[in-house]
Homo-oligomer: A and B are copies of this chain.
C-alpha cells in the first residue's frame, strides 16, 4: 500500500460510528434497517454531514445506502476496480492501487467523513489518517454481529473530547481525537 504514514495536515478525516454497548454496528454485513439507532443520533449525523464535502464508505455500506450516497460526493472503497471509476458523483476506488490522499488532493476536497464499515474505519486508523471519531453508543447489547473495527490487533490511543447524553433512553455521543 502506498498510503502515507503521517496524519495529513490538510485533509481532515472524521469517522462516524453508531454501535451497541458491546461495540457492534449491525447484525450482519447486509443488515439494512437499523431500528435500534435513535432519532437524535440520526439528526446529529445529518447535521454534521453538511460540513463534509466528501464521504468514504466500503462497498457493503454503499450498497445498503446507495440511494442516499448517490446524491453525495462519495468514494467507495472496493477491490472490484484497479483504476478509479467515476459514475456521477460516486467514485469507486481501490486503496490498494490508488493513493487516497493523492486522489483527495486532486479533487480539492478537504473535509472527509468516513462512514464505515469496519474495514474502512480500520484502514484510516491503520494508516494514521483518522483525526477524529464520533461514536454513538445506543443502549443495547447484541452479543454478536459486525464489530466497529476489523483488522489486526493494535493498541491505538485516543483522547476523549466530549461526552453527551442525547436522549432520555441514554444514547451517548462520544467524541475522540487521535492521540498516538
Contact = CB atoms under 8 A, between A and B. Distances in A.
Contacts of A19: 22-23
Given A135-B21, A147-B22, A142 B170 contact: no
Contact of A140 (B126, B141, B158, B170): B158
B122 A143 contact: yes
A70 to B, nearest CB: 29
A163 interface: yes
Given A143-B152, A165-B160, A170-B159, A24 B23 contact: yes
Contact of A148 (B23, B133, B139, B159): B23
Interface of A: 19-24, 27, 36, 122, 125-126, 133, 135, 137, 139-145, 147-161, 163, 165, 169-172, 174, 176, 179
